[in-house]
Structure 1
Amino acid sequence: MPLHPLTALTAACCAAVMTTAAGSWPFSVGVALAAVLLAARAGVAARVLGAGTVILGPLFLSLLVLHGFFFPEGDTVLAQWGPARMTAEGLNFALELASRTAACVLLLLLFSFTVNVPDLTTALAARRLPPQFSFVLASTLTLVPAMAARLARIRHAQEARGLVVRRGLLSRLAAARLQAVPLVLGMVEDAGLRAQALDARGFGAPGPRTSYRQLEDPPGQRIFRAAALLLAAAAVLLRLITAWPAGVPS
């Protein structure tokens, strides 16, 4: 039986919340590996890993530089180059942040690449949520795949016109700038065209709405969503209790 869109959304969000509350890099790595295995089972592992690399690569590098080499509370110095000190405490802190962020990003990418957007919009509309909220959420979920496909078309078009990307960093940065400008302009133009089309069809008009799509929501999945929300809330509460300084009155 396929997962209801709200079940998949609840599972991804609650897993991300519990991963953040746990604050343990082995747990975060396990969650990230589980997300990759689920993506491979769904046949979207290459897309999830590709988008995750683009998102997480610069973040990992910045975490390594900021915390691995300039961690003010680091005492165990592993190597030193002038003002930059590689400390064990800084590397451990960077690893914790990187693994936690990677787990959350991979979970949300897995959901965005596997969810059926029309079914999700129907499920949200059935919960009496505003149509604007459904449209914004659906557009956000399709943003990463749409950007990746558009960027590939822009790169192929520019290479056909003679763009050569060399191995040097400056050449890659110049090519990225040339590709980013038409990408952003195209996304802005698409958003404007969609907004006009939706307004012309009364998308923002008040009043009752009729849905032509019917989704089955099994009782077992509703119970799972309630249990996942309770577990996420309990994880956050436990984290707050354990992080509360001893001897400080509440």
Structure 2
Amino acid sequence: MTSTALDAAAARYLADATLGNPIRDMNPLILLGCIAATAAIGVAAPGWIIPLAAGAVFVLVGFLGGKGRSYLMTFLKLWAGVGLILFVLRALLTRGGRVLVPLGPISVTTAGIDAGLRFATVVMAICAAATLFFALVPMRHLMLALEHIGVSPRVSYVLLASFQSIADLGATARVVLDAQKARGIETEGSPLVRVRAFFPVLAPVFLSAMSATEERAIALDARAFNREGAHTSLVRLRRTRPWEWGALTLLVLAAVAAVIGGVLGWF
């Protein structure tokens, strides 16, 4: 390898990690604070309009972060699978106000609809915040940011390995199911057929997970993970920009004002 190639390789490793998007390149903890503060504003504010607006802001940030289409589909699925159910249950079980639809012992009232909208939008704002954060931030960047503020590398590795194991188990399960299908075993159809095809997959999936755990342990030993002292990393997060601190400060102040206003009844 020529000196020019070596210099280029060294410059690539010494450069700040980038995902090609200013929002995704933010410090993960700063982005977490901004998202959490926005969600807190939606939770603390009365009514259902502001929580719904917070969800819309999260969708906008998802598009600005380059994950808009996939995030929007996930958000709509959450609304269809969780938000709608929460709305219906709360609307049916809350009494008070004018009766709109009598349903025997229960009825749909104006107060029930307001309570259902409030409860569903608040829960969806919280779910949207968590979903957006994990859609924008790679877990390795989050763990590296935690180490920078003093979290033990052992703790960050356990968290990273836990999240990675979930993805690995899902990928391994899909591979085994495809292999079973290639052998002529029926894996699609009615729920009973799917359940019967799923149980034989468990053994190879967990055996593969145990083997991967042993490989990770060997790799950690080879990299002197248990050595005392500061650890090095091939990934370097870029420095936090002033506008990121400004956005976090404004959102935190707005969240504090919303919480105080909600407690004291200023709204």
Would you say same fold, with TM above 0.5? yes
Shift of 1:112: 0.8
Distance 1:137 1:183, change over 3 A: farther
The TM-score, its normalising length taken from structure 1, stands at 0.72
* Amino acid paired to 1:209: A
The aligned residue for residue 87 of structure 2 is 64
* Amino acid paired to 1:231: A
The aligned residue for residue 73 of structure 2 is 50
Distance 1:107 1:189, change over 3 A: farther
The aligned residue for residue 35 of structure 1 is 58
2:173–2:205 contact (8 Å) kept in structure 1: no
Choose from 103, 106, 117 the match for 1:84: 106
* Amino acid paired to 1:32: G
User: After superposition, where does 1:1-250 map in structure 2 within 5 Å?
Assistant: 1=22, 2-71=25-94, 73-135=95-157, 138=160, 161-165=185-189, 171=190, 174=192, 196=214, 199-200=217-218, 201=220, 205=226, 207-212=228-233, 213-220=235-242, 221-242=244-265
Shift of 1:182: 8.0
2:186–2:193 contact (8 Å) kept in structure 1: no
CA distance in 1, matches of 2:41, 2:129: 12
Distance 1:95 1:193, change over 3 A: farther
CA distance in 2, matches of 1:121, 1:25: 34
Pairs aligned (count)? 236
Distance 1:92 1:116, change over 3 A: same
- Percent identity between the aligned chains? 20
* Amino acid paired to 2:55: A
Give me the CA root mean square deviation.
Answer: 3.9
Larger gyration radius, structure 1 or structure 2: 2
Which segment drifts farther, 136-145 or 215-224? Answer: 136-145
CA distance in 2, matches of 1:10, 1:147: 30
* Amino acid paired to 1:112: F
Structure 1 residues without counterparts, runs of 5 or longer: 166-170, 244-250
Distance 1:184 1:102, change over 3 A: farther
CA distance in 2, matches of 1:185, 1:53: 34
CA distance in 2, matches of 1:235, 1:198: 46
SS in 2 for 1:74: coil
Structure 2 residues without counterparts, runs of 5 or longer: 1-21
The aligned residue for residue 168 of structure 1 is none
CA distance in 1, matches of 2:90, 2:136: 34
1:51–1:144 contact (8 Å) kept in structure 2: no
CA distance in 1, matches of 2:137, 2:253: 23
2:177–2:201 contact (8 Å) kept in structure 1: no
Distance 1:206 1:233, change over 3 A: farther
2:47–2:118 contact (8 Å) kept in structure 1: yes
Distance 1:5 1:178, change over 3 A: farther
The TM-score, its normalising length taken from structure 2, stands at 0.68
